[in-house]
Amino acid sequence: MTLCLVLAFGIVLGQSTGESIDPSFDTWTSLFLFVSLQALFVFVALFNLKGAQSQANKILAFLLLTFAVILLSYVLYWTNYNQVFPFLNGCFHPLLLLSGTLFYLYVRNIVGNRKLRKSDFLHFVIPLLVAACLLPLYIDNFNGELYYTLDERYRPFLLIGFNTYLKLVYLGSYLFLSFRHYYQANLSDSFLKPWFHYLLISYSGYYLTIVLYYALVNLSFFDVTWDYMISFAMSFFIFCVSFLGYIYPQVLAGKPISNIILRHKYKNSGLTKRGEEELKLKLLQLMKEEKLFLNNDLNLDQLALKSNTTRHNVSLVINKYFNQNFFDFINKYRIEYVQDLFLKPECQGDHVIQLAYRAGFNNKVSFNKAFKKFTGQTPLSYKSDVVD
């Protein structure tokens, strides 16, 4: 039994007994209508936002538009305005699937740095197929006939559109792919981590809410009004994007969220603008002239001691002026050092891992990850291209 069927039984029963229910709003439906309108507003803002993440913003905008339409269709049902505006009845079935596709493409676009291609159209095939299967229902609803259930005339096509397991497996698969791209991109040391941390949590909550709803819907104690939980989850995601997008607009413009947070975190650091510039030059001297990065035990406290300042100030300058955290700042110099060693004749017979240890790395795993992050290649592949 799906959400649409549960909702439909109440209306069909009311119509069959001759009951006439006047459309009306209550506190909750008014709230969800407001959220839906807010999502539409954010959709327009994101769609027209220019910057480094323009395509990603458009994908996120369409995801919010999807949620807006789903919420609106729910509100029309709860308020009985679906009898006045029947064309949105059942539209949420393909849109639920579409939300998973759009979320995955948004994650992949940014963390995987992969723009949309023609082949990505394949990701929309199943949502379009579901919409096509439900087309007879949409036509009748648009004409005011208000069909909600699996009418005999539409079998077996409606079975595909209404299928619960298809929705759960489809959404779960794309959520898994989103998490996989997130972790494969090694964003643990990236400034995009806070942004995707909240988005992945809120979208996962949305998916788990759907799973929970469909798990409970067949139980005797289930209350049909509990379908509000899915709307709450969508509302939370919309508010999450709205909050981060409008309080920290630089994120959507392609600038790291950490830079914005750091302004608040370090506003009382005590460093003047001139002091920051001097510390920046000091750090460059320690790296380029003294090659402090060759110390495999180097940490933030030691670097601060060498700089005659606090770790707080060192962290501020590294984040603000180099757009990196401490580990990336150090590893970048280590990788460049290894690249130089590759070209030295006396190092030709050394194993790659030996060169990594000489550059300050402690283990092979962290070296390989850092090398691929800064060069886009594995150490052996890079050495083969440059040396061999």
Vertex 269: Cα angle to 264 and 271 (nearest 5): 120
CB 184: neighbour CB atoms within 10 A? 10
CA Rg, the chain, in Å?
Answer: 27
From CA 190, how far away is CA 324, in angstroms rounded? 8
User: Is the CB of residue 130 less than 8 Å from the CB of residue 97?
Assistant: yes
- SS3 state at 88: helix
- SS3 state at 210: helix
Per-residue pLDDT of the chain (388 residues; tens, 9 = 90+): 333 433 333 333 333 333 445 667 778 888 888 988 888 888 888 888 776 567 888 898 999 999 999 988 888 888 878 777 777 777 788 888 999 999 999 988 877 777 888 888 999 999 998 888 777 777 777 776 655 554 545 555 556 656 778 888 999 999 999 888 877 776 554 456 677 778 888 999 999 988 888 888 777 776 666 678 888 888 889 888 887 666 555 556 555 444 444 454 555 556 788 888 889 999 999 999 999 999 989 998 899 999 988 888 888 899 888 888 899 999 999 999 999 988 888 888 788 899 999 999 998 888 999 998 888 889 888 888 776 5
Residues 6+ apart with CB under 8 A from 271: 279, 313, 316, 317
pLDDT of residue 17: 35
Vertex 33: Cα angle to 217 and 94 (nearest 5): 55
Q: What is the 3-state secondary structure (H, E, C) of 136-188?
A: HHHHHHHCCCCCCCCCHHHCCHHHHHHCHHHHHHHHHHHHHHHHHHHHHCCHH
- Give the pTM: 0.58
User: Is the CB of residue 209 less than 8 Å from the CB of residue 229?
Assistant: yes
Residues 6+ apart with CB under 8 A from 75: 29, 32, 33, 36, 81
pLDDT of residue 98: 93
Give Cα 385 to chain centroid, integer Å. Answer: 35
Quote the tokens at residue 51: 């910057």
User: Is the CB of residue 194 less than 8 Å from the CB of residue 248?
Assistant: no
- SS3 state at 11: helix
Give Cα 293 to chain centroid, integer Å. Answer: 34
CB 371: neighbour CB atoms within 10 A? 25
Output the CA torsion 91→92→93→98 (10° steps). 110
